[in-house]
Structure 1
Amino acid sequence: MKRSVVISAIAMAFMLTACGRLTIKTNGFSVTLGGEQETKESLADNASSEMTALTDGIIQTDLIQVTIPEELRDLACASTDENTIDIYDRALVDEGYPGLVFSIGISSDCDVFAGGMYTKEGEIFGADGTVYNVGKGYASEIQWDPEMPDMPESYRKLYDAADGIMENISGVGDNFYVYKSGTRGEELYTEILDKYITAVSEKWSPGQFEEGEMSGELGVIAANAEDPFENIGFAYMDINGDGIDELLIGNMPEKAFDGMLYDIYTMVDREPAHVISSYLRDRYYACEGFDVCNEYSAGAGETGTVLYVLIPNSTELFMQIAYKCDEYENEESPWFKAYNDGEWEAVSEEEYNDALKQINEDKLIPEYTPFSHVIGIDFSQVDMSRFATFTQLVDNLYPGMAYANVTLNDTDALFVANGCYDNLDGNHAAIDSSVFIYDKDGNVVFLGTVQSGGTANPLAVKDGNLYVAGHHFVIKCTIGDGELVLREAAYEDFDSEGNASYYYGTAEDGGYRPVDDDSFLNRLFEEAMEAEIIDFQEVFE
């Protein structure tokens, strides 16, 4: 039987306290659904699209510019329409084969170009405030002579270059492209992690966990574990193949049900959404092949295993195939399977056992990070006299935290982040940090905290200034007279009709004032993009 397979707005504020300290906070398989969704594979049959040679290696739409490396330009040709750029192997096209190597799709609709044959690779932040998904897609069928066993060399070269080409896309005009934006769990689920920290800290009951769309089993763990933040962990993993991380919540020392996902979260229209919770008699697992496995017990005489796929941009789990042992249905031969039509059919015990064995082998065990690693330390509540040196402070950090030595305005500072990540440029970057200096008497002093809008905008330094940015704001600050102080900041805001308003402020202004255009914001963005990303060192056990 054939089976069918199926960012949030940023608020930002800065405040100068009576002490002059600056507090900065930002909130920052193919799919078939009733025959209505079609995956675009090739423009070869689209008479309205012209194949173009890439003499200068540049392909441009209204939003983005794509550059083909010089050594590959003679191998490729391209076709474009309003939402898609298709890159072809020129020789294969000339020989009459489809030759599609990969596609670049652009859409503000989150149901398009993230899922199916596409994976989301980044986002375009339009000059009008619109956010667009940028996806990379591949053909589902062979694109060269089927008699050839291997991929042609020219095709292979273009295929291998696809990721680098995606990374080096640039925005046209005031449109801004950020590679991997909207895909990394570290950027997407901060508020969800904060919810778990609150629930555990306040010792919520299992019922309160469930009311908050969290597994009640975690309430039991939180109530009984000696250190619940060490027992409960999280992991980021793309479990449906759309290029966007899901958030998985699990129990760190789990043995009886190793790998069980107590909670699954995904992104729907750029907002985190709860998918499902596990309980001891209704358990969920991630599996190879982008499947989600559900094991259930419906009494002493019935147990079952169901494979689902998580539909992209949705919390819906679409059933693929199910197996059950149901003695209530047939005590003598209780083994059954069903596809997504829900019609159960009898199978042999051998087929049933073989299927469950394969499913168990395909289960994935996420590498959970304990919540203790993201709680960090609230240094505003710490007696700083405990630390005679920066080294002593670093020695007291939790595993998973990170630190960096930074010079701002000729002042040596220690930056301590709750965590860091590989920025894909040789740096381990961070989006938040507590800032420390030595005062005139040599004491370690905590100045305040900074936090950017997400992993697309890591903390960076240029000319003695710290740049803290998000998709719609930039803050430029430094250290002066032993304090963390603002130099200037700008942001843009959009009304319900997409009309932009612009604001700019300095320390002397004491707040933001309206300005006529985005010139201040663009200037600060340019400075931030030219700044050097701070390279953090992660703390290990």
Structure 2
Amino acid sequence: MKNRVLVLVMGCMLVMAGCGSVGATTPAENGAEPAATESASETADAESAEETEDTATDSESTEENTEDAGAEGDGFVDEFTIGEETAPDANGKISNGFMSITMPAELEGKYIAFCKDGEINVYEKESYDAKFGGFCFGIYVTTSFEDYGGMRTKIGELTDKDGQVYNVLIEYPSDVQWDYEKNDEMPEAYRALYEGARDIVATLEPDQGGEYVDGAGTKGETIFADKAKEIVGIIENAKDANELEAADLSPVYYAVTQGDDAKDPMETMGIAYFDSNSNGVDEMFVGDIETGQIYDMFASVDGKPAHVVSGNFRDYFKANGYGVREYILESAGVSVIKSSILSSNTTEFIPQYAIKLDETDTAEHKWSVSYDDAAENWEEITEEDYNMDLSNMEAEGDVEVKFVPLKNFK
């Protein structure tokens, strides 16, 4: 990887961090006091000095531009993008005037912090000075629910003295930010900052009154508490499948109560909460406790529960980590499995790819894969490739999905 790649990726990430979403507001825009800035006279003096310097060095502009480009290619990020360098106080506290975090005493002198409205960004000093980026983590506050997902993860909520609620987000680097030519692994100081970021951010405090609650607005038990009770009541009292479908729920919960092998959905069906798209916020899944088959999925959209999708015995879902898989029995001998990721703060899936097994006599391909969104165009693959794709889809994730019986939510 070339140094030039580092700054391009890093620069894009940080510019995006500064842009936000339409409708989002920063603390300053909401009337909060910003961090101290230069006076008008200081700014005018600086601009005058810059003009004089520009005139004096005009003849060397070509050479300097070349040197600047080289510096940026080495991972340099200017302070206009990442904010104003801010020194910690005697207690290790770093503040942007609206919020502050407290850095561990043992890391004193090993980091540089840059602050701007709504942001605190922390860099490992040695890597930053060597122009290898050095970005370890950033903290951001926003009123928008559309600013997290991708590189940013929601970790809590800050309520200011006037009652305005801000989503608190953490961001990590997307690529190597230290001198990888000298160090194959993270330098000790960088590792301490990077791996300790979550604990550091948990020390966040509002500077102008209010409260920060770590984890607020991220846990399914809180987001979906009322919705879970509502769903359980509907399932328990449904007189037929139509009632369930009218309530945007799967008819499966009624179907299992019928026939010789009738089951009580209050015992056999359950609810699970976990974050399937790594945006920091849980989704809610309703499904079969024994098989793990999911028949209804709910997401948090603008902080409120929203129904995503329903399934049935021939078209159900599963999840055990990042992403969701849909299992479709198209007909006898023909089955399709689709891998998708739920788009953050929406009820829309982002398709990844799909695989098909067609064991009928008229099959064009027995094993095939599709990469288009609608899974309409199929390419032949080998059995080995099919099994590899299936294994990748169903690989155990780092999230243990635990369905709790519906009766526990009554």
Aligned to 1:334: 366
Q: Hey, what's the Cα distance between the residues in 2 that align with 1:71 and 1:332?
A: 65
| 2:111 is aligned with 1:79 | no
Q: 1:155 aligns with which of 190, 202, 205?
A: 190
| 3-state SS, counterpart of residue 121 of structure 2 | strand
In 2, are the aligned partners of 1:54 and 1:77 still within 8 Å (CA)?
no
CA distance in 1, matches of 2:389, 2:156: 37
Distance in 1, Cα, partners of 2:162 & 2:246 = 38
Question: Which residue does the alignment assign to 1:247?
Answer: 284
Question: What is the match of residue 274 of structure 2?
Answer: 237
Conserved 8 A contact 1:55-1:74:
no
Deviation of 1:188 (Å): 0.8
Q: Contact 2:253/2:265 (CA < 8 Å) preserved in 1? A: no
Alignment of 1:436-515 (within 5 A): none
Relative to its length, the structure with more helix (as a share) is 2
- Partner-residue secondary structure (3-state), 1:74: coil
Contact 1:43–1:86 (Cα < 8 Å) also in 2: no
In 2, the alpha carbon distance for the partners of 1:223 and 1:60 equals 62
Letter in 2 for 1:59: I
Aligned to 1:181: 216
Q: Deviations over 1:216-263 (max 9, x none)?
A: 1012235675643222211111111011111111222x3xxx211121
Paired position in structure 2 for 1:144: 178
Secondary structure of 1:298's match?
A: strand
Shift of 1:338: 1.7
* Between 38-47 and 237-246, the greater mean CA deviation after superposition: 38-47
8 Å Cα contact 2:256/2:264 also seen in 1:
no
Does the CA-based 8 Å contact 2:79-2:85 persist in structure 1? no
Q: Percent of aligned pairs with the same residue?
A: 31
**2:76/2:132 contact within 8 Å kept:** no
The 5 A counterparts of 1:60-139 are 60-112=95-147, 114-139=148-173
Which amino acid counterpart does residue 136 of structure 2 have in structure 1? V
Q: Contact 1:247–1:266 at 8 Å: present in 2 too? A: yes
Q: Once the 2 structures are TM-superposed, how far is the Cα of residue 330 of structure 1 from its aligned partner?
A: 6.3
SS of 1:59's equivalent in the other structure is strand
1:262 aligns to 2:290 (yes or no): no
Give the strand-richer structure, 1 or 2. Answer: 1
Which 10-residue stretch deviates more, 325-334 or 154-163? 325-334
Q: Distance in 2 between matches of 1:271 and 1:38?
A: 29
1:177 deviates by 1.1
**Counterpart AA for 1:241:** S
Q: CA deviation at 1:174?
A: 2.8
Instruction: Give 3-state SS (helix, strand or coil) of 2:337's partner.
Output: strand
Q: Residue 60 of structure 2 aligns with which residue? A: none
* Corresponding residue number in structure 1 for 2:356: 324
Normalising by structure 2, we get a TM-score of 0.75
| Deviation digits for residues 70-109 of structure 1 (CA, Å, limit 9, x no counterpart) | 2223211111222321111112111221001111011111
Relative to structure 1, the CA distance from residue 234 to residue 279 in structure 2 (aligned partners, 3 Å threshold; closer, same or farther) is same
Q: Distance in 1 between matches of 2:388 and 2:273?
A: 30
Give the alignment partner of residue 306 of structure 1, picking from 338, 341, 352. Answer: 338
- Structure 2: state its 5+ residue gaps: 1-11, 19-74
The size of the alignment, in residue pairs, is 335
- RMSD in angstroms over aligned alpha carbons? 2.7
Q: Counterparts of 1:239 and 1:291 in 2: how far apart (Å)?
A: 5
Q: Structure 1 residues 182-191 or 323-332, which shifts more?
A: 323-332
CA distance in 2, matches of 1:269, 1:43: 36
2:285–2:296 contact (8 Å) kept in structure 1: yes
- C-alpha displacement at 1:197, in angstroms? 2.3
TM-score (norm 1): 0.57
